[in-house]
Amino acid sequence: MEIKIIPCLSDNYSYLIFDKNKKNACVIDPSESEPIIEMIEKNQLNLKYILNTHHHYDHVGGNEKLKKRYNSKVVGYKNDKDRIPEIDILVENDQIWKAENFEAKIYHIPGHTTGHIAFHFFKEKKIFTGDTLFSLGCGRIFEGTYEQMYNSLNKIKELPKDTEIYCGHEYTLQNGNFCLANDSTNLKLIEKITKIKKQRDNNLPSIPTILADEIECNVFLKAKDLKSFSKLRDLKDNF
């Protein structure tokens, strides 16, 4: 499975995943259609599926145009069927979604929104976490509760430690500054931020990140209980 990281809007990432042999593709969270179309045409791919982690416009903005152009099927969480544009295939928690050569386990991970899901391509050890888990951060709590977000992050934390995490935004340096302010003696964190600064200086994405690194460096994953997590989330909102 090949993955193309596609910068969209000001700081979003969409992901094009495809089978090199059959040229069939899925796009995850198309913020807008134009950059996705450009990448599809360049690689001569067949866009079969559009996978949405949640209903926010900066993750579904390209659904309509892409579906119309490529006759793709839109996949999203069953309880968000009235909020995800053009949705065709409804998935639920712990379901294995399988189509063509693609196979992913669906995790319902509410907090940022009530209907947020992740797509875990477990055979390839890659998970697309939308706006729940970021590199060195986690999403704002808009619709859910602190407890839901804390539990959602702990669900991801239980995956194999070499899992690659692909998230919805390039927020890593800003997140890193917050982590450093709350975990200033963490040498692994300092090393990770130094590496990320070099990547960003060269206009390279800081994504993917590895779960093992996040467990060591991301203060939200290091929170020992709901109370300390909630305090960190409040501090980050005002950082």
Q: Considering 112, 116, 120, 213, which one is annotated as catalytic? A: 112
Cβ-Cβ contacts under 8 Å for 23 (sequence gap 6 or more): 43, 44, 45, 46
Q: Which of 29, 54, 120, 213 is catalytic?
A: 54
96 three-class SS = strand
Residue tagged active-site, from 80, 108, 169, 213: 169
The tokens describing 58, both together, are 């900066």
Which one, of 72, 24, 79, lies nearest residue 51 by Cα? Answer: 72
Out of 29, 55, 59, 80, the active site residue is 59
54 is catalytic: yes
Identified catalytic residue from 29, 58, 80, 213: 58
Active site residue 56: yes
Assess whether 55 carries a catalytic annotation: no
| Catalytic position from the list 56, 108, 116, 120 | 56
How far are the Cα atoms of 5, 199, 201, 222 from residue 194, in angstroms, in the given order? 22, 9, 11, 20
- 80 catalytic? Reply is no
- What is the DSSP code (8-state) at residue 207? -
The beta strand positions in the chain, using DSSP E, are: 2-8, 12-18, 24-28, 46-51, 73-77, 87-91, 96-99, 102-108, 117-121, 126-130, 133-134, 137-138, 164-167, 209-210
Q: In 10 A of CB 98, how many CB atoms?
A: 10
Supply the DSSP symbol for 114: T
Looking at residue 5, its amino acid is: I
Active site members: 54, 56, 58-59, 112, 131, 169
